[in-house]
Amino acid sequence: MQFDYFVPTKILFGKGQLSNLHSQKLPGKKALIVISSGKSTRSNGYLSRVEMQLDLAGVSHAVFDKILPNPIKSHVMEGAALARSEGCDFVVGLGGGSSIDAAKAIAVMATNEGDYWDYISGGSGQRKPVPNDPLPIVAITTTAGTGTEADPWTVTTKEDTNEKIGFGYEKTFPVLSIVDPDLMLTVPPHLTAYQGFDALFHSTEGYLAKTADPISDLFALKAIELVGKSLAKAVADGTNEAARADVALANTLSGMVESLSSCTSEHSLEHALSAFHHELPHGAGLIMISKAYYTHFANTHACDERMIAMAKALGKTDASSAMDFVQALCDLQSACGVAELKMSDYGIDGANLEKYADNARQTMGGLFLADPVRLSREDSIRILQESFR
């Protein structure tokens, strides 16, 4: 019964909250707005709405629009250089998890010398302390997947070495986040599903992790309940505002779970897959390995009570065994139309799965320490083998 609670982000949650951005106390006078390289942020009018809100607040702005679905280090460095040259004193991450994650990393490098990988603690990172505080970060999420609006974490790939590694500390929490479900109504069904399962796994992992505490448990179980209740509805009908709000709240709560507890090796294993195959959506990769991953822990009987609690939260109210959670998870994946995803469709080599298992340990081995029971190299390879098709 001893834990720390620290989630310092002010969050505006709910329908229409983007329209209140201009009335907030913003952390600077010129913003670098970080968005993806895709068309949706502009075509859906989200960028112009944010620019209008900043104009109303008397804040000037520049735009960096190169972020990929799996953000890469070279774009972090390029965005940071633009922030410095434009004289930006804060960063706005607008879009999905990739844009907000990249905004955090850009905020770090806008105020610090050297290379971003100097400050990364996994893989080939140099593990240096960050000497200067990053620029303040405002997060405006248009998806419900990563929870990055409520946590300090950012994931970036060093493309020349296929290292996809998380980073973050208390200074990379957003100072202000807007979670407006209206901005999520345009997300297509398959991405709604991928992102929703990413949010779900942040909570299931955080609930099973050795780092779980009473507060993270509350947030995790509520998030799992909301995903079980509403994700399939949001996938089936993206205009269902109540379902969108439920999944958005689940996502934000899951970000808090990540802040207070930890992800586990499930995320390390998936990061290894998408580090080599950038076109693989993170949530899709998690779905692919999830059945084998949670079956493994069910068979260890190391966390039966917690897996039963998760099954009940997910909607299987008569759950009595750890495998009931696995069944509830598979049922939800079927309901969302994502049960048949294939690694082979993304170029993953089924004959060489050892390299992904090894990469997971080399780059994000720390998350293996949070597992409820030790996951060996052989276990990791077997999980990937059982997941491959």
pLDDT (tens digit per residue) in 6-27: 999 999 999 999 999 999 999 9
337, pLDDT greater than 80: yes
296, pLDDT greater than 80: yes
1, pLDDT greater than 80: no
Residue 67 belongs to what H/E stretch? strand 60-67
Dump the DSSP string for 91-107. EEEEESHHHHHHHHHHH
- What integer best gives the mean pLDDT of the chain? 97
- Residue 2 has what pLDDT? 85
Instruction: Extract the tokens encoding 34.
Output: 């970080």
Instruction: Extract the tokens encoding 69.
Output: 């679905």
Q: Is the dihedral of CA 357, 285, 263, 214 positive or negative?
A: negative
**DSSP state, 162?**
T
Specify whether the CB–CB gap between 9 and 176 falls below 8 A.
Answer: yes
Q: Rounded mean pLDDT of 297-305?
A: 98
56, pLDDT greater than 80: yes
Count Cβ atoms within 10 A of the Cβ of residue 221 and give its class: 0-12 exposed, 13-18 middle, 19 or more buried. buried
Which residue, 45, 18, 52, 47, is CA-closest to 34? Answer: 47
The 10s digit of each residue's pLDDT in 372-387 is 999 999 999 999 999 9
b/e map of 138-156 (b: 16 or more CB within 10 Å)? bbbbbbbbbbbbbbbbbbb
Across-strand partners of 92? 33, 138
Q: Rounded mean pLDDT of 254-281?
A: 97
Q: What SS3 class is residue 186?
A: coil
Strands (E), 220-373: none
